[in-house]
Amino acid sequence: MKETDIAIIGGSAAGLTAAITAKRFYPDKRVLIVRKEEKVLIPCGIPYIYGTVGTTDKNLIPDAVLEKNGIDLLISSISEIDKDGHKILSSDGEVIKYEKLVIATGSEPTVPPIPGSDKKGVYTVKKDEPYLGLLLEEVNKAHDMVIIGGGFIGMEFADECKKNRDINVSVVEMLPHCLMLAFDEEFCIQGEAIIEKNGVNLITNDRVEAIVGDDTANGVSLSSKKTIKADVVLIGIGSRPNTEIAKKAGIELNEKGAIKVNRYMQTSAADIFACGDCCDKRSFFNNKPVNYMLASVATNEARIAGANLYDTNRSNDGVIGTYSTVIGDTAMARTGLSISEACSEGYDFVVGQAEGPNSHPGCMPGASNLKVSLIFEKGTGIIIGGELIGAKSGGELINLISGCIAKKMTANDISTFQMGTHPALTASPISYQISNAAEIAAAKLRA
């Protein structure tokens, strides 16, 4: 029997971060990660294997970080959790006794019941290095590719697969616009225009009824009665929590099959915590269940779980929801509520928008336009959401806006906060986008 103080099932973003945090808070405790993968991929970098990065081995989390932090590693699958005996059983029969356990088993791709989805040439986005290597080989020799789903996964794959290849790429999305679950319509339309200019064929308000071909896929048929040729079909419509081992152990799950946790990331079982895609999440705004499977959320939860294993040090205030993507050279990002979500949640709100170059003067080398939209609740004046599109520097600016939401800053707070600016690094202090968007909103709040 192997013994450790802290056992962590899963070695991706959540599991690794939980392990590092645990060692920082409890340096005298032994920490063991048990994972099934020989190599661990950077989850958000997966689409870039097919263009910018070029290979799977350039998108890996190095194991050197484990040794650096004094974390032990076991490559094995866990087949059983004995929560009463404080033991886990590996698939090769090894028993590991623990004091504290963290479940960070992540998620698995959702596969809709589309006829033909089991044919050769049909892939999902698995976090599996050999599998994604095979997909890369198929994409490299394909003439036609169809991506089912126009969310982040679909749009990023489409954009990357068009790079340095003579390949026809089509995205099929059942909603009126791609990225519609992430952004308001105004931003979706701009994002679609960019990716279509880059040569991607977008088909919206339509759905795949079947993947056609004999044993191997050669196309997809749509509800509009059209058929599109495809040597490769990629299903990228989302993921579901990987919680079978927790369910088998009698750990409580929520109605969507995710592991239930409290604000300290504790499960229903004594001395067992969970974090990442496998556990349930609550909204920062109303405590309702939300489905944010993001590495940023997973690592946030992991830092809470790892810190609380022996003492309560941190709590989870809920998911704000902060994310970004790049289409071509254009960043798109959002945090908090969108306009449509604020409407559906019954908020009375105002919106302030501002745009301009991300450096000053606008003729500076590398200058790019950046448009920012901020949402504030009427009455309180507190910021509840933000979206942006344009310069890649927006990827960091959205994090600043998320911080404003977390601290419940008002339009007046944001319009007068003390910023640091530089011609080559930021917008002008006169036209700094978030300050001006907040000023415009503040005027509306006074009206």
- CATH number of domain containing 194: 3.50.50.60
447 confidence band (pLDDT: 50, 70, 90): confident
User: For residue 60, what pLDDT is reported?
Assistant: 95
User: For residue 380, what pLDDT is reported?
Assistant: 97
3-state secondary structure of 263: coil
The full DSSP string for 279-309 is B-EEBTTT--EE----HHHHHHHHHHHHHTS
- Enter the pTM of the model: 0.95
| Residues 102 and 163 occupy one common structural domain | no
| Residues 436 and 358 occupy one common structural domain | yes
Sheet architecture: strand order including 95-97: 2-3, 95-97, 87-90, 78-82
| Residues 354 and 440 occupy one common structural domain | yes
**Contact by Cβ (8 Å): 72, 228:** no
User: For residue 357, what pLDDT is reported?
Assistant: 94
CA 127 from chain centre, in angstroms, equals 13
Q: What percent of the chain is modeled with pLDDT above 70?
A: 100
End-of-domain residue from the set 204, 222, 237: 237
How many other C-beta atoms lie within 10 A of the C-beta of residue 287? Answer: 10
Q: Could you tell me if residue 400 is inside a domain?
A: yes
| Residues 85 and 153 occupy one common structural domain | no
Q: 436 — phi, psi (to 5°)?
A: -70, -40
End-of-domain residue from the set 212, 237, 262: 237
Q: Is the pLDDT of residue 199 over 90?
A: yes
**Contact by Cβ (8 Å): 175, 345:** no
Residue showing tokens 């003390």: 418
User: For residue 148, what pLDDT is reported?
Assistant: 98
User: For residue 364, what pLDDT is reported?
Assistant: 87
| Residues 228 and 129 occupy one common structural domain | yes
**Contact by Cβ (8 Å): 81, 88:** yes
CA-CA distance, 5 to 313, in Å (whole number)?
18
Q: Are strands 6-9 and 100-103 parallel, antiparallel or unpaired?
A: parallel
pLDDT in tens, 113-123: 999 999 999 99
> Sign of dihedral through CA atoms 235, 240, 244, 245?
positive
| Residues 179 and 279 occupy one common structural domain | no
